[in-house]
């Protein structure tokens, strides 16, 4: 989860650079956009891995899912990450709605990551001796 949060912060920073250079019509470094896309891909991968670990671990420990709010928050994060990745793939001059949608989903993702992190901490405490 810590790596996912770090990636989210780095994505916010690189996204801020992209916004700043675009709004000021400045030339940006050639590596910023590929880094942003790479970090986004890493976040999607990490979230899906965390989903698999959570499902397997919870089923192994409890035999069922849904014993805490962490499932709701975790699934919300998965949906938001996938929707954000989809909206990012739609960003183009002929689709002006895609960029604000992408930014809005990422704002919601920050809240979802905070909720999943806090509820996940409670779940992890149950595993510790």
Share the mean pLDDT of the chain: 92
* pTM score over 0.85: yes
| In the predicted structure, residue 126 carries a pLDDT above the cut 80 | no
Token pair 């509820």: residue: 119
Least confident piece of the model among 4-18, 79-93, 114-128:
114-128
Distance separating alpha carbons of residues 127 and 62, to the nearest angstrom? 11
Share of the chain above pLDDT 70, in %: 98
In this prediction, residue 7 carries a pLDDT of 95
Tell me what the mean pLDDT of segment 72-87 comes to: 97
CA distance linking residue 42 with residue 38, whole number of Å: 6
Distances (CA, A) of 92 to 24, 80, 89, 95, 100: 18, 20, 8, 5, 12
């Amino acid at each position: 989860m810590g790596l996912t949060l770090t990636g989210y912060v780095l994505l916010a920073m690189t996204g801020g650079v992209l916004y700043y250079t675009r709004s000021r019509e400045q030339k940006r470094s050639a590596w910023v956009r590929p880094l942003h896309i790479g970090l986004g891909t890493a976040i999607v991968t990490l979230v899906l891995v965390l989903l698999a670990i959570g499902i397997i671990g919870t089923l192994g420990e409890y035999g069922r899912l849904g014993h805490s709010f962490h499932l709701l928050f975790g699934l919300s994060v998965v949906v938001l990450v996938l929707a954000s990745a989809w909206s990012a793939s739609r960003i183009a001059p002929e689709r002006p709605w895609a960029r604000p949608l992408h930014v809005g989903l990422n704002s919601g993702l920050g809240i979802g990551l905070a909720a999943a992190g806090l509820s996940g901490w409670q779940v992890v405490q149950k595993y510790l001796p």
